[in-house]
């Protein structure tokens, strides 16, 4: 049996199972019962091994052909590493997969959740016999996250990945908004309190304001008190004053000493009227006599 890889015969096997190979990378062994099965193995595959693998048996047998495709995984990494941004800012991560064949399939996860591929912009460029891929993921920074870029090809059992941290600085405006709300609410409350206070004071004042009758009573009491003769308040005794009928002079006539004397009749409210007119209580005290003795020199 002859094994041909990519047009070169690399292994020859006898029916006993003994074989000779061009490289230690190629190996074969009998499998199953008798000589019905041969297993051919290539170790340390390279991209150059890709192509047809043909098994030819000496004799009247047609060769059997299979296709070998070798995929290659390269490196993957997020450029720039950890990023620190302000909250709600746009943040951009760039992932590079270098030297993959075929081009790597790139996906992203944020905190373990897969990102919808419609949000990604991935471009592949051929680099020699492999590919370089660049994937850009832009999004709004909301919270602290672990951003992971994964690159894979079909035959890779587990994707190769690279992770970085996104540190989000919380918005300081959150506080200013809070303070603004508190200030506006408290000032509103203050205004309301002020209005309530003004209304309260106004009402109380109105209640306390004396009514017309109350004022009359007060004035009456005051005038009665002032009419009560108190020796301290009395003036000096008018020596020339005489009571009607006790002198020889005719009443309200001119006396010897040249003084007019009044007839002792009470004058009603002349003096007080003037005062009370100012107070708006015109003539209230007219019923209460006040004795005024006018002496003119
Ligand atoms: C085949 O291998 C066996 C040991 O595995 C050896 O004894 C035998 O001589 C070999 N035959 C040939 C033809 O080389
Ligand atoms: C495969 O390659 C590794 C290192 O590249 C080497 O150590 C190993 O011996 C190789 N295996 C074979 C069968 O050539
Ligand atoms: C990805 O986004 C597209 C459009 O925004 C939407 O139609 C699709 O359902 C999304 N896929 C998943 C898995 O959410
Ligand atoms: C993807 O990125 C490339 C260059 O990086 C740009 O030219 C292209 O317009 C982008 N496509 C989208 C859909 O953003
Ligand atoms: C692919 O990436 C490698 C490493 O960054 C670089 O040396 C090479 O030039 C790139 N190939 C292309 C076609 O950009
Ligand atoms: C992100 O983490 C940093 C410290 O690692 C912390 O200061 C910051 O507040 C965090 N951001 C959010 C949005 O929780």
CA distance 253 to 236: 23
Model pLDDT, residue 142: 93
> What separation in Å is there between the alpha carbon of 42 and the centre of ligand 2?
11
Model pLDDT, residue 121: 95
Chain-centroid distance, C-alpha 188: 20
Nearest atom (ligand 1) to Cα of 17 = 1
Residues 272-284 have pLDDT tens digits of 444 444 444 444 4
Rounded to 10 degrees, the C-alpha dihedral 44/11/54/29 comes to: -80
- Topology at the third CATH level for domain 75-169: Immunoglobulin-like (2.60.40)
Report the residue among 117, 123, 138 best suited for mutation to probe ligand 4: largest number of ligand atoms under 8 A from its CB.
Answer: 123
Residues 6 or more apart in contact with residue 120 via CB below 8 angstroms: 106, 108, 135, 136, 137
Report the residue among 143, 170, 172 best suited for mutation to probe ligand 6: largest number of ligand atoms under 8 A from its CB.
Answer: 170
pLDDT tens digit at each of 297 positions of the chain: 999 998 899 999 998 889 999 999 999 999 877 667 899 999 999 988 999 999 999 989 899 999 999 999 999 999 999 999 999 999 999 999 999 999 999 999 999 999 999 999 999 999 988 999 999 999 999 999 999 999 999 999 999 999 999 999 988 766 677 788 888 889 989 989 999 989 988 898 877 665 666 667 777 767 666 665 555 555 555 566 555 655 444 444 444 444 444 555 544 444 444 444 444 444 444 555 556 666 665
CA distance 20 to 277: 144
Rounded to 10 degrees, the C-alpha dihedral 263/264/265/268 comes to: 130
> What separation in Å is there between the alpha carbon of 29 and the centre of ligand 1?
13
Nearest atom (ligand 5) to Cα of 132 = 1
Nearest residue to 295 via CA among 271, 270, 269, 264: 264
- Domain positions in the chain are 2-68, 75-169, 252-286
Give the residue whose CA is nearest to atom 8 of ligand 2: 44
Nearest atom (ligand 3) to Cα of 117 = 1
3 state SS of 62? coil
Token couple for 255: 């006396």
Model pLDDT, residue 78: 96
The burial of 193, by beta-carbon neighbours within 10 Å (0-12 exposed, 13-18 middle, 19 or more buried), is given as exposed
Q: Are strands 105-110 and 83-86 parallel, antiparallel or unpaired?
A: unpaired
Model pLDDT, residue 12: 96
**Structural contact between residues 76 and 149, judged by C-beta atoms closer than 8 angstroms:** yes
CA distance 149 to 80: 13
3 state SS of 205? helix
Token couple for 126: 């051929």
Model pLDDT, residue 57: 92
Phi, psi of 2 (to 5 degrees): -120, 135
**Structural contact between residues 122 and 106, judged by C-beta atoms closer than 8 angstroms:** yes
Model pLDDT, residue 283: 43
Beta strands in the chain (DSSP E): 2-5, 8-13, 19-21, 26-31, 37-42, 51-56, 64-68, 75-78, 83-86, 90-100, 105-110, 113-114, 120-127, 130-140, 145-152, 160-169
Q: Are strands 75-78 and 83-86 parallel, antiparallel or unpaired?
A: unpaired
Q: Is the CB of 121 under 6 A from ligand 4?
A: yes
CA distance 262 to 46: 150
Give the residue whose CA is nearest to atom 14 of ligand 5: 127
User: Any idea which residue has 């495709």 for tokens?
Assistant: 69
Model pLDDT, residue 24: 95
> What separation in Å is there between the alpha carbon of 119 and the centre of ligand 3?
9
- From residue 288, alpha-carbon distances to 12, 193, 220 in Å are 154, 50, 9
pTM: 0.59
Pocket of ligand 2 (CB under 6 A): 24-25, 43-44
């Amino acid at each position: 049996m002859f094994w041909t890889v990519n047009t070169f015969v690399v292994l020859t096997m006898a029916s006993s199972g003994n074989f000779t190979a061009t490289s230690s990378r190629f190996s074969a062994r009998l499998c199953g019962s008798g000589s019905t099965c041969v297993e051919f193995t290539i170790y340390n595959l390279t991209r150059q091994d890709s192509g047809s693998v043909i098994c030819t048996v000496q004799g009247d047998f047609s060769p059997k052909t299979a296709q070998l495709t070798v995929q290659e995984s390269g490196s993957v990494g997020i450029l720039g590493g950890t990023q620190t941004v302000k909250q709600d800012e746009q943040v951009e991560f760039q992932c590079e997969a270098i030297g993959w064949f075929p081009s790597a399939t790139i996906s992203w996860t944020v905190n373990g959740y897969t990102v919808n591929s419609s949000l990604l912009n991935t471009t592949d460029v051929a680099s020699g016999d492999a590919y370089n891929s660049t994937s850009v993921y832009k999004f709004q920074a909301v919270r602290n996250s672990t951003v992971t870029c994964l690159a894979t090809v079909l035959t890779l059992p587990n994707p190769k990945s690279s992770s970085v941290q996104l540190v989000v600085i919380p918005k300081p405006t959150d506080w200013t908004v809070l303070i603004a709300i508190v200030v506006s609410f408290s000032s509103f409350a203050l205004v309301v309190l002020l209005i309530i206070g003004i209304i309260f004071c106004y009402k109380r004042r109105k209640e306390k304001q004396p009514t017309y009758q109350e004022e009359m009573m007060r004035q009456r009491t005051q005038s009665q008190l002032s009419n009560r003769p108190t020796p301290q308040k009395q003036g000096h005794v008018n020596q020339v004053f005489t009571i009607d009928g006790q002198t020889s002079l005719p009443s309200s006539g001119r006396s010897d000493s040249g003084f007019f004397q009044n007839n002792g009749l009470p004058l009603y409210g002349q003096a007080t009227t003037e005062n009370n007119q100012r107070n708006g209580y015109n003539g209230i005290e007219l019923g209460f006599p006040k004795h005024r003795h006018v002496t003119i020199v």
